[in-house]
Structure 1
């Protein structure tokens, strides 16, 4: 089964992200350093789904990591702007996934083993798989497999104070919204990930949308068909993640931070 794992928000300084999001009632903690990539992070968890705010502490190491095709670091290096960049899908069959995606015609890199040392000295380990097409106008999700089972991770994250209650409500990371040029690649990935797909059209807004439903999130893709709100967003920001939506908030509000939009709703 494929589940949404996390969304990556590249920021100037993860420590500032902790301060900003905590002030908004979103429980956020420092994560640790990725010594092999020259990056470090801050984390906001919503059960096992989370937001990862990533910054750079070593440009040379980061540039080396960015040379890996379709990698998260390549995404940021190709378009050096803060904001929501990529998302990861959690799997427990990453070796089989690599074979399946290769047979489907995708370029596949990995899976590769990685680890990170937490601030308390403990080590977290995982595998990553990157996929894509050479001339694709949108980026595919990447895939992650953790060494621990979900219940083990939930227990460890709670023990370390990473997974905790949010002052702003019983928050859940419920939706990610994207702007895309078409639904070809989206449809292929949805099929490969065995997701449910729903299409709908808003004639008055000149936009077609496709909702891809994984068991723990809705991924909503918007394709502009003419001048309107989504068209204007595309002109200003290009294609990619438009916003994330958190449900269960005590008060509805929108947070704009380091090039990203976090929408909190009471529903």
Structure 2
């Protein structure tokens, strides 16, 4: 089976889930509670833009959140560290694969320290059990840039889209026909960071001025110079009106381009 990769979702750390939801929803988003992750002691809220979505993540159970290890849980571990440090920012992105075993083996061959493939689950507010397979990359990339993590859902894209529409999770937004177009990474060495992500995602790097760009389906990962060594901003297209939103260190830019 051919390995197909896509940008599944973006994980954002927040310290108060209700406060973050209220802020973004007041700006024309439609975040709704997602449910609890019992193993990690975390909970989330989600907003969908087609199958691509944003996950606001916070701690629900401090005792559980303090004890799970970094190994095999790097993205969630970083989010919990941010919670206890009072930091609100974008963590990383999840990449959806249609063949998680093949993706896992390929990244091992690249020399990355990849965690075990594990089965995940959460119960949404309606009582529906959501299940998936995922793995995290234990290695940090150049200049300690967090790596993406990988997920495979229990049904194919068409079935998931249909189910999410039936649940009312894929819907229009008051701010417009929004969709995530770009992730902006500020890194000390954008050329090397883009090269590493290119190998991970099996896509070419395009240089535009001082930026290095990877296309992933109809979206882009943009690596440009900055000292944060983080994913610092999401750019949306389809907004009714242009806007720049900031919540903690979380930056959204809304453009009225189609």
Q: TM-score, normalised by structure 1?
A: 0.88
Q: Does 1:181 align with 2:210?
A: no
* Aligned counterparts of 1:106 and 1:114: Cα–Cα separation in 2: 22
Aligned to 1:100: 106
8 Å contact kept, 2:71–2:138: no
Q: Distance in 1 between matches of 2:127 and 2:5?
A: 30
Of 146-155 and 10-19, the range deviating more from structure 2: 10-19
| Larger mean Cα displacement after TM superposition, 55-64 or 100-109 | 55-64
**Alignment RMSD, CA only?**
1.7
Map of 1:62 onto structure 2: 65
For the pair 1:221 / 2:223, whether they are aligned, the reply is: yes
1:114-137 Cα offsets, whole Å, 9 max, x none, are 111011111111111112436852
Residue 155 in 1 paired to residue 146 in 2?
no
**Which of 166, 185, 199 is the aligned partner of 2:207?**
199
Q: Map residues 94-133 of structure 1 onto 2, 5 A cutoff.
A: 94-133=100-139
The separation in 1 between residues aligned to 2:244 and 2:193, in whole angstroms, is: 30
Contact 1:66 1:72 in 2 (8 A): no
Cα pair 2:232 2:249 within 8 Å, conserved: no
- How many Å separate the matches in 2 of 1:254 and 1:118? 31
Could you tell me how far apart the structure 1 residues matched to 2:81 and 2:121 are? 25
In structure 1, the residue corresponding to 2:114 is in which secondary structure? strand
Deviation at 1:21, TM superposition (A): 1.7
Q: Is the 8 A contact 1:252 1:266 kept in 2?
A: yes
- Cα shift readout 1:104-155 (whole Å, capped 9, x = no counterpart): 1110102111111011111111111112436852111111111111122112
> In 2, distance between residues paired with 1:196 and 1:118?
37
Aligned residues: 249
Aligned twin of 1:168:
175
Corresponding residue SS for 1:95: helix
Matched, 1:263 2:216: no
Distance 2:186 2:10 in 1: 16
Gaps of 5+ in 1: 202-207, 224-229
Q: Secondary structure at the match of 2:188?
A: coil
Deviation (angstroms), 1:7: 0.6
After TM superposition, which residue ranges in structure 1, 4 or more long, deviate above 6 angstroms? none
1:77-127 deviation digits (Å, cap 9, x = unpaired) = 555321111111110111011111111111010211111101111111111
